[in-house]
Chain A
Amino acid sequence: MRKSYRWRRFVNHLMVGVAALSTALSVLALVAVLGYVAVNGFAALNADFFLRLPTPVGVPGGGIANAIVGTFIVVGLATLFALPIGLGAGIYLSEFGDNRFGDLVRYLADVLAGVPSIVMGIFAYGLIVARQGHFSALSGGFALGVMMLPAITRTTEEVLQLVPRDLREGALALGISRWRTTVSVVLPTAAGGVLTGVVLAIARVAGETAPLLFTAFGNPFWNTDISQPIATLPHTLFTYAISPYEDWHTKAWGIGLVLTALVLVASLLVRYVGRRR
């Protein structure tokens, strides 16, 4: 059965069109989401929004200053937890990890990367909240930190692997010990890439809500005590979005815009810096 050339050409044109349409559809989805967030969110922004505490329901005005500070605290805790472990593990995998143990850790880091964010919340709940008896910023930071860990570990390993072998051999040939080679030659060479990975990992978890639902929990008041429940941007957005109050819905869009802008700017910045190198 031979198909006529005319038919084949028709199929060709048709499928090229369908493929172009699919791409257009993806971009359209992005525009639809970002457009609504930008337009609705912008209407909610004013000085009070950034500088004031939430007002009681029904009282107009107020802002989400506590959630902004809370997000920085929780994400800061997460970074404090994940950065040393991730860096160390990445260095191990790249410099010493060519063995069974290295393969196992590599595999487990990948497993960890695939664990759904809500399960991280359960983990932190069982490990910290259930023992302490109350929700806390610390447990939220732990949950987010565990989420960042595999990303930092694997990026560090990959970036260190890109450092040419010659550089290491050159340093060793000069009589420098292995650890000095790693710290003073390999790491500085790879610093840009490692930093990129870390910023991306931070940006990704900054928008996470699910792990915070029953760890950091949320708090309508001012709090900087990490052993107490704390408000965060994503969680406040969630609470406001599902509430019945019109004023809160407006604020939810405002938080959505701030959060999206934060994550997008971080990704763009990293991409721009990465390309220039």
Chain B
Amino acid sequence: MLQRQQRRRPRNLGDALFQGWAWLMAATVLLIVLLLVYRLLGDSLPGLSRFGLGFLVAQDWNPITETFGALPAIYGTLVSSLLALAIAGPVGLLSAIFLTELAPPWLDAPLSFLVELLASIPSVVYGLWGIYVLVPILRDPVERGLHDALGSLPLFSCAPLGFGMLAAVLILAVMILPYTTAVARDVLRAVPNDQREAMLALGATRWETIWRAVVPYARSGIVGGLMLALGRAVGETMAVTMVIGNRPQVSACLFNPAYTLASQIANEFTEATSDLYISVLIELGLVLFVITLILNGLARLLVWRMEGGRRGGRL
């Protein structure tokens, strides 16, 4: 016992100072997260105490009478993100399959690079492109055509405006595509070759090998990647704010203007006049924070389980 203590403690001053400094910086990271949570809770307290949990399911949003409900924004956030994932998920997975399993190796690296470039374009540039390229195309041929042909369905029954849920969904789908592709590619690559060879030896076609032996093996990683992408979509602000039309309403029609939590905050924060108004907007931020926390937690759990533990040269 004595020996161990003696061996652990004798350190020179430099070591103690250096480790102390590094510890302090690490503690600062911890402190910042605590401060973030504390501020979010503290600043949304007036709204929390005024409306309670009913805030989450109330539909009205009227700053003049000071009645606030988060349902339209929560609904818009979930619908836009899930629909975007419904597009970007399959496309991303299929692209990843093409890149890892089917494409010749010389094609894999440059194509993967191009797809990843999508992730580095700033959100506000997507928004700009959305306003002046996507929305006009949506308004006339796409939404008008759908409305004329299938207007009896509630999904397409409202006036084709261009700015609205559909535009947000499509922009979000493009924006999260690189994430779904990249994660799926990484986990597919981690599948051992035995898995493929065994299936091929049984006489399976290439697609059967991929679909029955490779993809199931990588399933938890793929699902984790999809959730990570969903987390991105939920928190995406600028591009969505610029094309979603910004109206707090719950509507089944895809062409109607809507709101997401992030876009409602972005759009109204600087206009908020009363303390209560600001506090409910911060409460929207709190709801958003909690949603992303849950999604990221689940995603990480799934991806980690797939990738296994960490290694390293730690002393």
Which B residues are in CB contact (< 8 Å) with A234?
122, 124, 238
Which B residues are in CB contact (< 8 Å) with A260?
121-122, 125
Contact B131 A241 (CB under 8 A): yes
Is B53 an interface residue when CB atoms closer than 8 A count as contact?
no
Contact of B25 among A20, A33, A85, A127 (CB under 8 A): A85
Interface string of A142-166 (1 = CB under 8 A from B): 0000100110010000000111111
Complex Cα spacing A237 to B241, Å:
14
Contact B120 A118 (CB under 8 A): no
Interface string of B16-54 (1 = CB under 8 A from A): 011101111111111011011001101100000000000
**A161-B312 contact given A112-B33, A126-B282, CB 8 Å threshold:** yes
Complex Cα spacing A207 to B129, Å:
15
Contact B95 A22 (CB under 8 A): yes
Query: How extensive is the interface on chain B, given as a class?
Result: 35 or more
Which A residues are in CB contact (< 8 Å) with B30?
104-105, 108
Query: How extensive is the interface on chain A, given as a class?
Result: 35 or more
Q: Give the one of A166, A169, A208 with max B CB within 10 A.
A: A208
Which A residues are in CB contact (< 8 Å) with B14?
177, 179-180
Contact A12 B207 (CB under 8 A): yes
A residues 60-103 near B (Cβ < 8 Å) are 84-89, 91-98, 101-102
Contact B296 A114 (CB under 8 A): yes
The dominant DSSP class at the B interface is helix
Complex Cα spacing A208 to B127, Å:
12
Q: Which A residues contact B (CB, under 8 angstroms)? A: 8-9, 11-12, 15-16, 18-23, 25-27, 29-30, 32-34, 36-37, 40, 84-89, 91-98, 101-102, 104-105, 108-112, 114-119, 121-123, 125-127, 130, 146, 149-150, 153, 161-169, 172, 177-180, 182-183, 203-204, 206-210, 213-214, 217, 234, 237-238, 241-242, 249, 252-253, 256, 259-260, 263-264, 267, 271
Q: Which B residues contact A (CB, under 8 angstroms)? A: 11-12, 14-15, 17-19, 21-30, 32-33, 35-36, 39-40, 42-43, 90-92, 94-95, 97-99, 102-103, 111, 113-115, 117-118, 120-129, 131-133, 174, 177-178, 181, 205-208, 210-211, 231, 234-238, 242, 262, 265-266, 269-270, 281-282, 285, 288-289, 292-293, 295-296, 300, 310, 312-315
